């Protein structure tokens, strides 16, 4: 998942004067809508003010301060072509206009603009400008998101929380997403400022938090607290976050054995289905999961689960693959090349002389099983519409995940979740992983994925099992 830059509108469609019920029951008053009406205008005025000819020297200094942490040489005549993209130039301009601290005046442009206005600004405009002057850029973690309404955010550095109302952004953000932005406080409410916010995936939280805290500790004596550091060293923090985004690569999907996720289907011709059924039923590593019969009670299809040797069904089984025996065809599915080779060897030995290999089909991960950890529950799609069947299918999925806490996971250093809970760093990695899985659950629901509630990873059940809040 890559990070996108979003131009977030602050213009509200509703007219001032109306009182609406907002996120967490907070009432949106006249002041709220009036602030939403004034902020875009003030943003445009400050932007023009900061780019006037009188601040040519400040602009040059800002370019140097912006690029110096990025290792870009700007000592020669600075031109716009030093920017790698239009997005980066837009990012610079929004940072310069609202968060660059001028050397000559020791203030940012919202503060300087407020002082230059004298008595011309209204009391509410002054409050908004003061909020802009005191604002600083930080990384916020989404604690809750109400699509089309409000967001509850928590600063990952200062741990302060706030609620903002932005219809567009609340549709894009899900729980545990990260938002790099500046927050304005005015009229008793919080708003996004003139800086174009960046949306980042939950997995970036730990590397960003560690990098920024290390920068702060290196220069701790020069700042009164973390808030002061974020405000006065915004260019360094900005560069660190940009490096994290650029270097971020979504790790390759792997199965519980740490093997690259790759879906294989082995297709065999079956000479005698009853003979094959009997052999599979006798095996200690093949468990009959579902038997399909016709209207007369005759055999139609049998579904088996291939488990780890020594794992009983009640202990979670440690599923390695699934098999479907139907008439004269046997299909065996698993989620890595290594497993497909092992399964092929197992079947050749177990069913020697009973089956004949026809083909092996390799599918891309997105074309294979809907979840990399749990295969789609067997059966017809119309079953999902029956409440009783949905409950049963949900129980099947939850049953599959009950042994997840005892499986070794590459995402947390090839430890089991129970082992990770005993180590501070392991627990941190585990909590980050659960947040990402919860984020993906919510994102699947937002995208309208069919049966997302049934196939979702059971985060609450796992947290309860591990004793996590």
Tens-place pLDDT, residues 362-403: 875 544 333 333 334 344 444 445 565 566 666 666 666 777
382, 386, 367: which is closest to 262 by C-alpha? 367
267, 180, 175, 194: which is closest to 4 by C-alpha? 180
261, 207, 249, 241: which is closest to 429 by C-alpha? 207
In a shared domain, residues 105 and 184: yes
- Per-chain mean pLDDT for the chain: 80
Give the end of a domain, one of 367, 396, 426.
367
Q: What angle do CA 247, 248, 250 make, to 5 degrees?
A: 145
In a shared domain, residues 145 and 94: yes
Give the end of a domain, one of 332, 367, 402.
367
Task: Give 36-53 as a DSSP string.
Answer: HHHHHHHHHHHHHHHTSG
In a shared domain, residues 236 and 113: yes
Give the relative orientation of helices 86-99 and 56-67 as an angle to the nearest 10 degrees: 120
In a shared domain, residues 317 and 399: no
DSSP state of 250: P
* pLDDT for residue 391: 65
Tens-place pLDDT, residues 255-274: 777 788 788 889 999 999 99
Q: What angle do CA 369, 447, 183 make, to 5 degrees?
A: 130
* pLDDT for residue 281: 93
**Of the candidate ranges 3-17, 156-170, 213-227, the one whose mean pLDDT is the lowest:** 3-17
| Cβ 199 vs Cβ 6: under 8 Å | yes
- The token duo for 374 is 């749990």
Could you tell me if residue 374 is inside a domain?
no
Residues 6 or more apart whose CB falls under 8 angstroms from that of 94 comprise 194, 195, 196
Could you tell me if residue 320 is inside a domain?
yes
Q: What is the mean pLDDT of residues 440-455?
A: 75
In this predicted structure, the answer to whether residue 195 has a pLDDT above a threshold of 60 is yes
Tens-place pLDDT, residues 291-329: 888 888 888 899 999 988 765 544 444 688 889 999 899
Buried b / exposed e along 113-147 (16+ C-beta atoms within 10 A): bbeeeeeebeeebebbbbbbbebbbbbbbbeebbe
What residue numbers bound the domain in which 286 lies?
263-367
Could you tell me if residue 255 is inside a domain?
no
* pLDDT for residue 87: 83
State the distance between the two ends of the chain, measured CA to CA, in whole angstroms.
27
Q: What angle do CA 100, 106, 109 make, to 5 degrees?
A: 45
Could you tell me if residue 145 is inside a domain?
yes
Could you tell me if residue 257 is inside a domain?
no
Tens-place pLDDT, residues 392-405: 666 666 666 777 88
Determine if the pTM surpasses 0.85: no
Identify the bridge partners of residue 154 per DSSP, sorted by sequence position: 141, 161
CATH number at residue 283: 3.30.160
Could you tell me if residue 178 is inside a domain?
yes
Distance CA 38, CA 44 (A): 10
In this predicted structure, the answer to whether residue 16 has a pLDDT above a threshold of 60 is no
Maximum separation of any 2 CA atoms in the chain, in Å = 95
In a shared domain, residues 337 and 420: no
Sign, CA torsion 153/159/160/161: positive
Give the end of a domain, one of 178, 212, 247.
247
Assign 186 a pLDDT band (cuts: 50, 70, 90).
very high
In a shared domain, residues 395 and 359: no
Q: Which helix (H) or strand (E) holds 404?
A: none
Q: What is the mean pLDDT of residues 150-154?
A: 92
In a shared domain, residues 272 and 209: no
In a shared domain, residues 307 and 426: no
Q: What are the φ and ψ backbone dihedral angles of 334, each rounded to 5 degrees?
A: -150, 175
In a shared domain, residues 400 and 435: yes
Q: What is the mean pLDDT of residues 34-59?
A: 92
In a shared domain, residues 347 and 308: yes
In a shared domain, residues 181 and 216: yes
Residues 6 or more apart whose CB falls under 8 angstroms from that of 455 comprise 370, 371, 374, 376, 397
In a shared domain, residues 239 and 274: no
In this predicted structure, the answer to whether residue 43 has a pLDDT above a threshold of 90 is yes
Q: How many domains, in total, are found in the chain?
A: 3
């Amino acid at each position: 998942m890559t990070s996108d830059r979003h131009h977030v509108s602050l213009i509200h469609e509703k007219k001032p004067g109306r009182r609406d019920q907002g996120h967490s029951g907070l009432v949106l008053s006249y002041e709220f809508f009036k602030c939403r009406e004034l902020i875009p205008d003030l943003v445009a005025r400050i932007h023009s003010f900061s780019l006037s000819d009188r601040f040519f020297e400040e602009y040059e200094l800002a370019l140097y301060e912006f690029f110096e942490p990025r290792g870009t040489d700007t000592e020669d005549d600075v031109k716009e072509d030093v920017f790698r993209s239009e997005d980066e130039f837009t990012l610079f301009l929004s940072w310069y206009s609202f968060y660059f601290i001028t050397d000559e005046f020791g203030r940012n442009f919202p503060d300087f603009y407020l002082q230059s206005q004298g008595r011309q600004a209204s009391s509410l405009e002054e409050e908004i400008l003061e909020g802009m002057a005191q604002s600083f850029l930080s990384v916020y973690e989404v604690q809750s998101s109400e699509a089309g309404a409000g967001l509850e955010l928590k600063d990952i550095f200062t741990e302060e929380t706030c609620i903002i109302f932005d219809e567009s952004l609340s549709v894009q953000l899900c729980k545990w997403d990260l938002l790099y932005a500046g927050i304005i406080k005015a009229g008793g409410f919080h708003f996004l400022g003139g800086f174009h916010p960046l949306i980042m995936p939950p997995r970036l939280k730990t590397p960003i938090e560690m990098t920024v805290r290390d920068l702060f500790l290196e220069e701790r004596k020069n700042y009164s607290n973390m808030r002061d550091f974020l405000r006065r060293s915004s260019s360094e923090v900005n560069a660190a976050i940009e490096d994290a985004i650029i270097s971020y690569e979504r790790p390759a999907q792997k199965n519980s054995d740490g093997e690259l996720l790759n879906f294989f289907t082995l297709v065999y011709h079956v000479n005698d289905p009853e003979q094959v059924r009997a052999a599979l039923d006798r095996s200690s590593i093949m468990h009959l999961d579902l038997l399909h019969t016709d209207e007369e009670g005759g055999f139609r299809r049998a579904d088996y689960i291939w488990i780890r040797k020594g794992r009983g069904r009640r202990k979670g089984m440690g599923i390695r693959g699934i098999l479907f025996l139907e008439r004269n065809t046997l299909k065996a599915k698993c989620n890595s090349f290594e497993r497909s080779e092992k399964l092929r060897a197992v079947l050749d030995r177990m069913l020697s002389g009973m089956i004949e290999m026809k083909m092996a089909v390799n599918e891309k991960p997105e074309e294979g099983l809907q979840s990399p950890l749990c295969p789609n529950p067997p059966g017809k799609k119309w079953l999902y519409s029956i409440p009783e069947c949905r409950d049963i299918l949900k129980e099947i999925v939850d049953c599959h995940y009950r042994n997840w806490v005892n499986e070794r996971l590459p995402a947390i250093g090839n430890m089991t979740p129970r082992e990770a809970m005993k180590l501070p760093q392991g627990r941190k990695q585990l909590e980050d992983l659960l947040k990402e899985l919860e984020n993906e659950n919510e994102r699947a629901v937002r995208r309208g994925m069919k049966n997302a509630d049934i196939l979702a990873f059971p985060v609450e059940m796992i947290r309860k099992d591990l004793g996590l809040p």
